[in-house]
Structure formats: structure tokens, C-alpha cells
Chains A and B, each alone.
Chain A
């Protein structure tokens, strides 16, 4: 890889947006090229700097009250839809008889005309013979009487009333099996420059350890690609925490903590840079390193 290619990929690499093949090439190049490595370190230092950015925002307790008051005055999404549907149902209720009345009115007039015509023809048999064609319209053959009542016309709004809830449940059900391992949406790490307590660090290391254990148990025996999207997301989140915590540990002189976090970081970077469907060989490589370095044991012993 040439330096120019590496530099072009560096930002995406730091962002974890480079596929595994490119990622590997960047890693190899960084090991051999001082100027690119310096660039990489500058980018990492910037990330650390931005990670310390704290807006010092406080959300006042009144914020939720304000939202709550405003949404209480509004119907919920489903309620409003149901209300619309109820309104539609009523409209349908009235629409059907109205159509029925109009239709049956028209039919009644037609019947009356036919009846009058029939009576007229009966009273004038000779003429009827002369106009034989009219004789096709006979009382027994009135096909329209069955439709005069109009009950066969379906209520217009019935399908609309049923449709939305079906849609709604469909949406949710479709979501569940597709991402069985998906964690709740993570809003991302909210960076703060508050120094971390030992409890925070312990919790972070515990999560990292669980991640590595989970990663270690990924099936990577055959050559099929493995879905590591969960591990990748989790790793990105932990990586951000890790960088800040390591800096914090360094600044506050907690060198054992810094050392543990420093050992952990390469694993998080590697997992964070994997593609969602990672090749089994890459998984095996990382798993081997996890095993060899006994990082899990190191985290457990912290």
C-alpha cells in the first residue's frame, strides 16, 4: 500500500468504516511507515480530545413535564388512527343505506314502469303481439329484484378499519426474528470529561470481558462468514469509553488500570473494524489472540 492510499483511508479506518481487507492493509502499512503512523496518531489524539468535550448540559425536570403536557393533549398515534377509522366506520354506516336508498329508489321506479307496462300490455293483448319484442320483459324474469335490497354491497370502510392494526403488528413481528441478537438502539456514548470512578472502570472492563467471551464463542470452524454486527457495535461503544478511560487513568496516575485498558484496546479496535459479516479466518485470528494473550483472565482479575 502506498502512503497516499493509506492517508486517504485513515479517517475511515479510525471511524471503523473500512472493510476488513482494507483494514488489514492499513494496519500493515502503519507498522512500516512512520509518517502515516504519525498521521494516525494525530487522528487518534483528536478523537481523544473530542471525547473530552463536555457540553455541560443539564436537562431540567420540567422538560419531560412540558412534553408530557403537550402530548397528553394529543391523541396517541394509534388512538388517532382508530378515531379516524371510527369516523370512517360511521361514514360507511351512513354511506351504505344512502346508496341503498338511491339504488332501491331507482329500482322501485323501474319496477313501477315495468309493472305499468305489463299491465298495459295485458289489457291490450293484440298490441302485445304486435310488439313481441316487449314481451321479453316478463315479471318472472326480472333480474333486478334480487339486488334491489342492496345488502350484497359491502360496507365501504370495513377493510380500512381492519387494515392498520394488522400492519402494525406485522411491522413489529417482522422486526423480531430478523435481529434476534440486536441490542436496544444505542444512542452512542455521551462523552464527558468527568473522571471515572473505579466502579465505572470495573463495569467497563466487565462489559469488555463479556464481549470477548461472547466473541470467543462465535462459531468460526468452517469458512462461512460470521455475523458479528452485535460484537462490532458493542466494541465501538466500548472502544470510545476505553480511550477516554485510559487517558483518564494516565492523567490520574492509575497505571495498573491504564495498563489493563491499554491491553484491551487493540482487541476492541480489531473487532470494531470487522465487517458485519466477517470472514471466519479473521474471527479465528482474533480468537487466537484472545486465547494466547489471556486478556479475558487479565480483565477478570482486575
Chain B
């Protein structure tokens, strides 16, 4: 009896344990998604907390036909965007949190299997950070969070044709940036 609907219903009645279970179930995907948008570990955790606090406040607005994960990603998207806007207003340079990103560009292509995990993570992370905001949103929701087009449209508010175009362009850009290090 721990379906998402059941947990939401219990959490709405003030059952904190139910909300903790929701947190346990969704905190990782939500934090991963936020991290993909802001590229900062500490900030991602902070924003993940903010997402869940906001979710708790507005649990009673969750419509029965909406998937809990879709709804949470929608809140997380708003929280991440607000943070990015604030950083831009403060003229802070949005940078990858790992300062020792390896310079792989002079190594030439290496097979996927030989690319060290750490290197791969950095290459992908850097390529992601270079995508523009809309493309990054759509790309991470589709490729990493496995959302359907309908779910992405619900989370982002984009039309299906727009998100398909953004996704295609994001894939092409990612291929150009990641592909220079990797040959299949």
C-alpha cells in the first residue's frame, strides 16, 4: 500500500512518514535532474530540498491524472530556473563545480570502453553545460530521466514539435562535443 497515490494521500493528511517515503523514492532522480541543470553539487542538493518543501506545500494541488514524478520534475525545473536566473542577475559565472576537468581534446578519439568513467562523466557534464537551457531541459528529461514526450511537454510547458526540435538539436550538439572524444 505504498503506491505514489497512497503516499500522496497520506502526506496530504499530514503523515510525514509518507512524505519521507516520497522523498526517498524521488530524491535521487530529482537531484540528478537539478544537477544537470545547474552543474553544482551543493547547490543541487539545496535546490532539491527546496523542491520537496514546495512540493509538500502544494501537495493538495496535485491532480490525480498527473504522475508524481512528472509533477516533481515540474517543480524542480522551476526551482532550478529561478536559481539560474538569480545567478545570472548576480553576474556569477555558471561553471562546472569540478575545477580539475581534464583536457581531453588533445588525446584524439578513444573507444567508449577505454574512456575512464571519470573522464566520461566530465565530458558529458561539460557538453551538457554548453547546451542552452531549453535544450538541456528536454535532453536530460528524455535521455537521463526517460520521460515520454507527453511528460516532457507537461513538465516544461513546451509543445511537442518544439521539444522534438530541441531534443534533436541537443542530440546533435552533444554528439559533436562528446563524439570528438568517443568513437563507438
B 90-132 to A, binary, CB cutoff 8 A, 1 in contact else 0: 0000000000000000000000110001001100110000000
Closest to A65 in B: B49
In the complex, whether A189 has a CB less than 8 A from a CB of chain B is yes
Total count of chain A residues near the partner, CB < 8 A: 54
In the complex, whether A198 has a CB less than 8 A from a CB of chain B is no
Select the stretch in A22-30, A89-97, A166-174 that faces chain B: A166-174
Query: What is the distance, in angstroms, from A107's C-beta to the closest C-beta of chain B?
Result: 43
- Known contacts A77-B12, A184-B4; decide if A52 and B117 are in contact (CB<8 Å): yes
In the complex, whether A292 has a CB less than 8 A from a CB of chain B is no
A188 lies within 8 A of B146 (CB): yes
In the complex, whether A71 has a CB less than 8 A from a CB of chain B is yes
B 41-52 to A, binary, CB cutoff 8 A, 1 in contact else 0: 100110011001
Centre residue among A48, A68, A185 by max chain B CB count within 10 A? A185
Chain B residues, CB < 8 A from A15 = 142, 149
A48 lies within 8 A of B112 (CB): yes
Chain A residues, CB < 8 A from B69 = 185-188
Query: What is the distance, in angstroms, from A39's C-beta to the closest C-beta of chain B?
Result: 11
A188 lies within 8 A of B145 (CB): yes
Query: What is the distance, in angstroms, from A81's C-beta to the closest C-beta of chain B?
Result: 7
A 57-86 to B, binary, CB cutoff 8 A, 1 in contact else 0: 101100110111011101111110100000
B 40-69 to A, binary, CB cutoff 8 A, 1 in contact else 0: 010011001100110011111001110111
Closest to B143 in A: A50
B143 lies within 8 A of A45 (CB): no
Centre residue among B14, B145, B178 by max chain A CB count within 10 A? B14
Interface of A is mostly: helix
Query: What is the distance, in angstroms, from A174's C-beta to the closest C-beta of chain B?
Result: 6
B16 lies within 8 A of A71 (CB): yes
Query: What is the distance, in angstroms, from B54's C-beta to the closest C-beta of chain A?
Result: 10
B16 lies within 8 A of A55 (CB): no
B56 lies within 8 A of A71 (CB): yes
Chain A residues, CB < 8 A from B182 = 49
In the complex, whether B147 has a CB less than 8 A from a CB of chain A is yes
B146 lies within 8 A of A71 (CB): no
Query: Bound state CA distance, A186 and B26, in angstroms?
Result: 9
Which positions 6-39 of chain B face chain A at CB distance < 8 Å? 9, 11-14, 16, 19-20, 23, 25-32, 35-36
A64 lies within 8 A of B23 (CB): yes
Centre residue among A75, A175, A191 by max chain B CB count within 10 A? A175
> 7 tightest CB-CB pairs across the interface, nearest first?
A45-B184, A76-B14, A77-B60, A187-B29, A188-B146, A175-B64, A185-B4
A residues near B (Cβ < 8 Å) are 11-12, 15, 17, 41-42, 45-50, 52-57, 59-60, 63-64, 66-68, 70-72, 74-79, 81, 168, 171-172, 174-176, 184-191, 193, 236-237, 240, 251
B residues near A (Cβ < 8 Å) are 2-5, 9, 11-14, 16, 19-20, 23, 25-32, 35-36, 41, 44-45, 48-49, 52-53, 56-60, 63-65, 67-70, 112-113, 117, 120-121, 124-125, 142-149, 164, 167-168, 171, 174-175, 178, 182, 184
